[in-house]
Structure 1
């Protein structure tokens, strides 16, 4: 989601002012994507700043992203991985759209992180299974999910297989512009997000917390 539905524009602007300035390639990507017909799919700048902080604190080396769109969040992640691990960091970026990711590559190249990003164009569930088969089970430090909401629970389970102990999964749009709190909303997406939240809350394998950053983020740590 492009902005925090609970925050006014002046507050969002203030956050941009007091946080560290983003990389020029991030600004360029975010600005171009703002005019895209599906601009609402892009995460907000404050979400990007939070993700970068989290990845740095985790000292993450290996990361997965499910849902790339025009590449802003992947670029956030790749830049943070570079700060942690230099050329040794790796982001597996999973999407089904070559159209969107072709635009993403422009900004990855501009930032000089294209060698850090392993882009895989295929259904995300298949790619997550492939990563486990390639030996990455229990080795991933960080995973960000911003994709089809009905697929979130599948990505959760497959991601948990990949995650190391203490690793973090981050799910976007879990407040769904407030729809999750409206009992009359029984859309497939809303129901899927409620089920994910309930599953994470009761899952003894993890610690989980939901926060109202952007359109809602669910943070899940493998215990």
Structure 2
């Protein structure tokens, strides 16, 4: 092995969330492999004022790989927006697979719906326009729903992540995956509070509390990753 003359260069690594590095990952590994329907939906979402909240395509690529490994048939999604993560899930479950998709705003979902229809996967989606907690509670009213979902993806209001988790951990089977998006909140979880804009503080606090909860949760194995805006990948074990 060749010895590096100045090992100090490794003490200050490139910040993983830097724009240059993100663009390198996208241009080198993500966009060349991004399926055409996902590319079309991503571009259709770019002009929306809140387009930046869509699932990051590099996160989508990792989720796609996990879906292929898990081979889920029954999934649930909390927070849909225009449907990028919903579409990638629909593309990677069997033809008779089903996704329960919950969001409070159908108008944004309808931006991506033509692409979903074009891709031929709309029949896999049960879209419910509603706040998520009442729907999750309704599912849990029927004990036969417990432990029947293979996979859950959560990308909604961060202040409710802990509430979602307590319900979804019952709905997802042992061995199933729960993936939470935006758990680094633009890196603000590591900022001193006084440097965080006031409007971002509630979400920052929620993300910090959620990350601690998952770390202490013996019901899951998990990996806290810096892909996109941060994914917490949880595997239910109890």
TM-score when normalising by structure 1: 0.91
Measured in 2, the distance between the counterparts of 1:131 and 1:52 equals: 26
1:116 pairs with 111, 116, 124, which one?
124
Whether 1:31 and 2:43 are equivalent positions in the alignment is yes
Q: Which residue of 1 aligns with 2:112?
A: 104
Equivalent pairs, count: 214
State the 1:102 CA deviation: 1.5
Distance 1:49 1:107 in 2: 18
Normalised to the residue count of structure 2, the TM-score between the two structures is 0.85
Partner in structure 1 of residue 67 of structure 2: 55
Query: Structure 1 residue 40 and structure 2 residue 48: aligned?
Result: no
Match of 2:92 among 80, 83, 106: 80
Residue 143 (1) aligns with residue 143 (2): no
Question: Deviating runs (4+, > 4 A) in structure 1?
Answer: none
Q: Give SS of 1:43's match.
A: coil
Q: 1:201 aligns with which of 215, 226, 230?
A: 215
Which of 12, 17, 39 is the aligned partner of 2:26?
12
Which stretches in structure 1 are left out of the alignment for 5+ residues? none
Larger Rg: 2
Q: Which digits, 9 at most, give the CA deviation of each residue in 1:95-118, with x for residues without a partner?
A: 000211122221210110000000
Structure 2 contact 30–61 (Cα < 8 Å) conserved: no
- What does residue 160 of structure 1 align with? 169
Report the Cα distance in structure 1 between the residues aligned to 2:134 and 2:22, rounded to whole angstroms: 39
Q: Which sections of structure 2, spanning at least 5 residues, go unmatched?
A: 1-15
Contact 1:71 1:107 in 2 (8 A): no
**Could you tell me how far apart the structure 1 residues matched to 2:38 and 2:25 are?**
20
1:18-71: CA deviations, max 9, x gaps? 6xx333221110011112111111112211111111011011111111110001
2:31 and 2:129 map into 1 onto residues whose CA distance is: 36
RMSD of the alignment, in Å? 1.5
